[in-house]
Structure 1
Amino acid sequence: MTRNRIKQALAALALVGLAAPAAAQGLSPAEVARLGNDLTPLGAIRAGNEAGTIPEWTGGIRSAAEAGFPDFQSGGHHPDPFADDKPLFRITAANMDEYADILTEGHKAMFRAYPEYFMEVYPTRRSAAVPERIYDATKRIAPNMRLIEGGNGFSGGAEGIPFPVPQNGLEAIWNHIVRYRTDSARRTIGQAPVTRDGNYTMVMFTDEYLGAYGLEGAKEEELDNVIVYFKQTVTAPARLAGEVLLVHETLNQAKENRKAWLYNPGQRRVRRAPNVAHDNPRTASDGLATSDQLDIFNGSPERYNWELVGRKEMLIPYNSYKLHSNKLKYDDILKPLHINQAHARYELHRVWVVDATVKEGTRHVYKRRTFYIDEDSWQAMVVDCYDNRDQIWRVQEAHSINYYDVPSFWTTLELTMDLQSGRYLAIGLNNEEPVTYDFSPNYTPEDFAPAILRRSGVR
């Protein structure tokens, strides 16, 4: 990309969607008609940008065959369909000011804190896709969707994205919370709390997931108020092996908060775990991330005011197949202060910017959080997390890929980088594992019953 072209792209950047008053009801017929036309079926702007640096969305990658790998088997490391792409340019601490309009405040803080930090910027590939039925369901339910009083849930349907044309920040964050990942999945992943000098002890998990809200034909009245069933078993190191966390994530959280249980193999007992929420420390995270930072953000939004700032063009991690590759070892990725940026890929995409500030009378360790949510997938990609002094404390990144065997756009590596301690938490590592994301299980809610939790614990 030439210097003039870069300047043109920067000059073209502007907010293209401003916050509108909260809607009491769903989309109008005219707004619904836009889905699948000038808007994508999930509400993104279908067209590219004027500068030509963001292309038109043409459907994403809808199958392994479309990705160029017709023989790919679910559970393997997904080959990179963009392996031949070369970086357009590199951003460093020395030239970051030239790109200030397309860098998040968190990324600017990374450059200031770590002079050797860099970002390789690649051509934009709008690869995100989900099954056709999710598009159909989104259009079907859009006229009926509404937030419940207080915004701590919503009503009007299931299966699709509830608010493809969001009118406020709560609608946008709910889109992220209930976005389609897959029906069922089992994954083997590692979590590494990395010290300032680059040392870490890997914690290995087996995660099992059932996305009840997005199942084919899902109906709100039949969900039993549960949108996601999630079970996480610690398999290493030995001192933690056998611990199991079970979560039932609720849709109407004003009616019923999330339900969580923990199995402790030493005590051989199952107990309720109401503290697995909000700003309580996450499992085996060494205090580097809160419970609600798993999946970038999860759980109840009740502690924040959510402002929809607008839609903006920003550099975000995208199509991170290198970080998913079995050609890398964990030590190739995990380095002091931050991951090896040579394996990270950033692209220019339109994102919804949502600013969350703690409500008066409540508390959270993060006084403010700014979310950058991919318009094509509703995956939150970057989060700037501020402390009580209004200083950026931590930066989250969702290095994501299109799991084209589903298809689904989801994370392969989540990072929470602590700028005050020089430490970071990496979760999703599976480069050295024989099986990554297996989408073949056919789970049912009965597989996530608390009564069978003890049988899941092994030591």
Structure 2
Amino acid sequence: MRSHLIACIALLSFGFSGQVLSAVSVAEAQRLKQDLTPVGAVRGANASGSIPEWTGGLSEAPANWREGQVEVNPFPNDEPLFVITADNMHLYKDKLSDGSRKMLSQYGPNFFMPVYQTRRTAAFPERVYGKSYENALSAEVLDNGNGVRNTITTSPFPIPKSGLEVIWNHILRYRGEEVSFRSGSATPQVDGSYNPVVTQYEYYFAYSKQGAELEEIDNKIFYLKTDTISPSSIAGTITLVHETLDQVRSPRLAWRYDSGSRRLRRSPNLAYETDLPNSSSLRSVDQKDMYNGAPNQYDWELKGKRELYVPYNAYMLHDQSVKPNDVIRAGHINQKLARYELHRVWVVEATRRTGIKHIYDRRVFYVDEDSWQILMSEEYDEAGNLWRVSEAHNISYYSVPAFWTTMEMTYDLKAKRYYIDGLDDNYPAYDFEPGYRGNEFSASSARRAARR
């Protein structure tokens, strides 16, 4: 009895009051083959039919797309059903997040939200669906909340009972086994002028590799290597990250090669509230991919589900003909290229734990039920004011298939500036089969690559 009481107190002190940290029953898991999709979304349509039934997603590429090409728009004839503006947003307030309403009011009339027909395109390989079912029966959050066990390949908790489980679903969602791509980022000035930074990304998702077992991947989720291509002043800068599953037991490992010093150094502070490199202090490291890293700085509360207008099927922004100058505008992106749809999202609120230092006191995340991708988030300062609003514009990548971001941005409402990543300047399509080996992501390998 005494040991049980101590365990309960420990959980409460970490903010897990009322949370269920264990796997679901066989009967409940069967819902993934009945009224829920294989990843845990509601399979059926909503009451009005404005959110349709999920019928498998975009599991096959459009007929006019070929392997190796940049993804084409599968819905080229779609037109907006209506456009939400600062003047009419009161008509849609129950379907708008606080962040969307703030963007409309602060930047209207130039910031508007074109709303299109809802297309439930998220799809994944059959083996991922099988692992999702197995994870539902076995996955557990570790007692300290900073990791999971008895899970592999994809999101651990397709039928979540807590905010922490939803965040782990995002962190561990399936994004393929490996991928190589080039992307541009920028931090436009108030007048819209900018200097892009071009980066080559190489990911190796150890957790999602076919045949992987949790005990064999050495507590690693993925390996990431980035190489700055331009501008010339920072070209050749290399960052290497080993993303760990339990980052308190075994913190994220990171190295950075500075072309000026020509040395590869450990970067122990590349986490949490640290400024994201090349973001002009407009985004923290843990905002990359909308949220990443150990969840131990916040208490996580699952607020339930909402139907919201969210960024979705962003094939116009992804189109190879769209250049950075077509996207970037003063204060925000060119909203004519954005696409919003009505989707069901999980709402998770993160409140900074007592005694923890972080620039964000409170954060709200809106997580897609069909993919576990965070679609939008709101970041609040210590005074309780909405400070930043983040959006992830996503597409289905046909060759995998996988649903993932093509462009992310964080809007700073105080500075009236933003950080954007995912700009395309005629770069090649994402390569989801580059043929990496795990040892290519060692520190010694990065050091050799930097010296070439």
**For the superposition of Structure 1 and Structure 2, which TM-score range results when normalised by the shorter chain?**
over 0.9
3-state SS of paired residue (1:209): strand
1:101 pairs with 2:133: no
**Aligned with residue 164 of structure 1, among 158, 162, 187:** 158
Tell me how large the CA RMSD over aligned residues is: 1.4
Aligned to 1:434: 427
Q: Please point out which of 311, 316, 329 is paired with 1:322.
A: 316
TM-aligned CA deviation for residue 159 of structure 1: 1.3
The whole-number CA distance in structure 2 between the counterparts of 1:72 and 1:278 is: 40
Q: Secondary structure at the match of 2:132?
A: helix
Equivalent residue runs for 1:232-271 within 5 Å: 232-271=226-265
* Shift, 1:327, TM fit: 1.9
**Any conservation in 2 of the 1:403–1:409 contact (CA below 8 Å)?**
yes
* Equivalent position SS for 1:83: coil
Q: Does 1:183 align with 2:177?
A: yes
Q: Which amino acid aligns with 1:123?
A: Q
The 2-side partners of 1:261 and 1:186 are apart by 19
Q: Give the one of 136, 141, 146 matched to 1:147.
A: 141
SS in 1 for 2:321: coil
CA deviations over 1:114-171 (Å, ceiling 9, x no partner): 1211000000000001111000011112211111012111101211320001111110
Tell me how far 1:286 sits from its aligned partner.
0.9
Give me the whole-angstrom Cα distance separating, in 1, the residues matched to 2:84 and 2:121. 23
1:224-239 to 2 correspondences below 5 Å: 224-239=218-233
- How far apart, CA to CA, are the structure 2 residues paired with 1:212 and 1:266? 32
Whether the 8 Å CA contact 2:242–2:252 is kept in 1: the answer is: yes
Give the alignment partner of residue 422 of structure 1, picking from 416, 420, 423. Answer: 416
Match of 1:443 among 436, 439, 447: 436
AA aligned to 2:95 is I
Match of 1:81 in 2: 74
Q: How many pairs align?
A: 436
Q: Percent identity?
A: 45
Indicate yes or no: 2:359 matched with 1:354.
no
Please list, as runs of the form range in 1=range in 2, the aligned pairs for 1:270-289 lying within 5 A after superposition.
270-289=264-283
How far apart, in 1, do the equivalents of 2:272 and 2:154 lie? 26
Closer/same/farther in 2, CA of residues 458 and 386 from structure 1, 3 Å limit? farther
Which residue number in structure 1 is paired with residue 13 of structure 2? none
Report if the CA contact (8 A) 1:305-1:358 is conserved.
yes
String of CA shifts for 1:52-95, please: whole Å, max 9, x gaps. Answer: 1000000101132xx333x5123x32110011111010000001
- Maintained 8 Å contact 1:233/1:457: no
C-alpha displacement of 1:328: 1.6
Task: Tell me how far apart the structure 1 counterparts of residues 60 and 433 of structure 2 sit (CA, whole Å).
Answer: 15
Q: Which amino acid aligns with 2:103?
A: M
Among 47, 64, 68, the alignment partner of 2:63 is 68
Structure 1 residue runs without a partner (length 5+): 1-18
Matches of 2:201 and 2:235, distance apart in 1: 13
SS of 2:144's partner is: helix
Partner of 1:7: none
TM-aligned CA deviation for residue 20 of structure 1: 10
Cα separation, 2, equivalents of 1:79 and 1:36? 31
Partner of 1:44: 41
Structure 2 counterpart of 1:88, which letter? Answer: L
Q: C-alpha separation between the residues in 1 aligned to 2:371 and 2:194? A: 32
SS in 2 for 1:276: coil
Partner of 2:329: 335
Counterpart amino acid of 2:200?
Answer: T
1:222 to 175, 195, 216: 216
- Specify which of 433, 452, 456 is matched with residue 449 of structure 2: 456
1:13-48 per-residue CA deviation (whole Å, 9 max, x = no partner) reads: xxxxxx994224201011111112110000000001
Separation in 2, partners of 1:20, 1:402:
37
In structure 2, what is the Cα distance between the partners aligned to 1:141 and 1:315?
30
* Match in the other structure for 1:8: none
1:299-349 CA distance string (max 9 Å, x none) = 111101110000111110000000011222211110101001000000000
Question: Given that residues 63 and 406 in structure 1 are in contact (C-alpha distance below 8 angstroms), is that contact kept between their aligned partners in structure 2?
Answer: no
2: distance between equivalents of 1:434 and 1:272? 30
* Secondary structure of 1:417 counterpart: strand
The residue type equivalent to 1:145 in the other structure is A
Deviation, structure 1 residue 241: 0.4
Could you say which residue in structure 2 is the equivalent of 1:32?
29
Give the aligned residue type for 2:434.
P
Structure 1 letter corresponding to 2:54: W
Amino acid at match of 2:83: R
Matched-pair contact (CA < 8 Å) for 1:307–1:355: yes
- State the shift of 1:458 in Å: 6.5
Conserved? CA contact 2:323–2:423, under 8 Å: no
Tell me which of the two structures has the higher relative contact order, counting C-alpha pairs closer than 8 angstroms and 6 or more residues apart: 1
Q: Is the contact between residue 321 and residue 426 of structure 2 (CA under 8 Å) also seen in structure 1?
A: no
Kept in 2, the 8 Å contact 1:53–1:124? The answer is yes
Would the alpha carbon gap of residues 169 and 238 (structure 1) be closer, same or farther in structure 2, given more than 3 Å must change? same
User: Displacement of 1:275 after TM fit?
Assistant: 0.9
Native 8 Å contact 1:268 1:454 kept in 2: no
- In the alignment, the residues of structure 2 paired with residue 455 and residue 72 of structure 1 have an alpha-carbon distance, to the nearest angstrom, of 35
Does the CA contact (< 8 Å) of 1:234 and 1:240 recur in 2? yes
Alignment pair present for 1:369 and 2:363: yes
CA contact (8 A) 2:71 2:429 kept: no
Check if 1:302 corresponds to 2:296: yes
**5+ unaligned residues in a row in structure 2: which ranges?**
1-15
Contact 2:380 2:386 in 1 (8 A): yes
Note the C-alpha offset of 1:457. 2.5
